[in-house]
Amino acid sequence: MTPKLILTGFMATGKSAVGHVVAARLGWRFIDSDAEIVARAGRPIAAIFSDDGEAKFRALERDVIATIARERRHCPLCHGDYPAVVSTGGGVLVDEANAAALKRCGVVICLTARPEVIAARVGRSPAKRPKLLEGGKPLLERVQELMRERAAAYARADVAIDTSNISIEDVADRVLAEFAARAYKRCVPSA
């Protein structure tokens, strides 16, 4: 199985930004599942939600996660499994099939942040995040509600890291330490 370091968690916890840093440090590929969905659908996530509904988006997401999880590429340098850092959408672990597929293919690290930190981070562009607009509630209230709804799903991760008050670089350090503690090794070219 191709080893993967999977970053998941609520929106605006830093999954993509940290994922890019971690992938660069390891020399691994970076895969953003939301970007894969957008590429397959040919339109933004907000448009998928508004035009086709959440069920259609979740079906696309499930297909992308299954593809990522079963991928069997080999490294062109060492010919071993070609590892990847994967950033997922905020609701991916709610689907039990997604959670199981991701757990089978790598270490799942959930990035977290306090609700007020998330609200501040997404406050400039809530329209890009369709789940925040449901119910017409104030932003912080909606963030808290969604976080409560997803708490059990996020608990499926192997470990959680709070990103509220630390830099992207420091989060990347913690992610790498947690990943290393779970016995995954970096791809090293053969001699």
- Measured CA to CA, the distance from residue 39 to residue 22 in angstroms comes to 23
Give the mean model confidence (pLDDT) for residues 7-18. 96
- Percent of the chain, pLDDT > 70? 89
pLDDT at site 135: 82
For residue 106, pLDDT beyond 70: yes
Residue 190 pLDDT level (bands cut at 50, 70, 90): very low
- Measured CA to CA, the distance from residue 41 to residue 19 in angstroms comes to 23
Asked if residue 32 is part of any domain, the answer here is yes
Decide which of 71 and 118 is more confident: 118
Decide which of 191 and 75 is more confident: 75
Asked if residue 63 is part of any domain, the answer here is yes
pLDDT at site 126: 63
Decide which of 137 and 30 is more confident: 30
Q: What is the DSSP string of the chain?
A: ---EEEEEESTTSSHHHHHHHHHHHHT-EEEEHHHHHHHHHTS-HHHHHHHH-HHHHHHHHHHHHHHHHH---B-TTT-SB--EEEE--TTGGGSHHHHHHHHHHEEEEEEE--HHHHHHHHTT-GGG-HHHHGGG--HHHHHHHHHHHHHHHHTTSSEEEE-TTS-HHHHHHHHHHHHHHTT--------
Asked if residue 159 is part of any domain, the answer here is yes
Query: What CATH number corresponds to the domain at position 56?
Result: 3.40.50.300
Residues 119/112, Cβ–Cβ less than 8 Å? no
Q: Which domain holds residue 59?
A: 4-181
When the pLDDT of each residue in the chain is averaged and rounded to a whole number, the result is 89
The structural domain count of the chain equals 1
**Phi-psi bin for 5: left (phi > 0), alpha (psi -120 to 50), beta?**
beta
Asked if residue 190 is part of any domain, the answer here is no
Asked if residue 188 is part of any domain, the answer here is no
pLDDT at site 183: 55
Tokens of 35: 């970007």
pLDDT digits (tens, 9 = 90+) for 40-97: 999 999 899 989 999 999 999 999 999 999 887 776 666 666 789 999 999 999 999 9
Asked if residue 99 is part of any domain, the answer here is yes
Asked if residue 112 is part of any domain, the answer here is yes
For residue 13, pLDDT beyond 90: yes
Asked if residue 171 is part of any domain, the answer here is yes
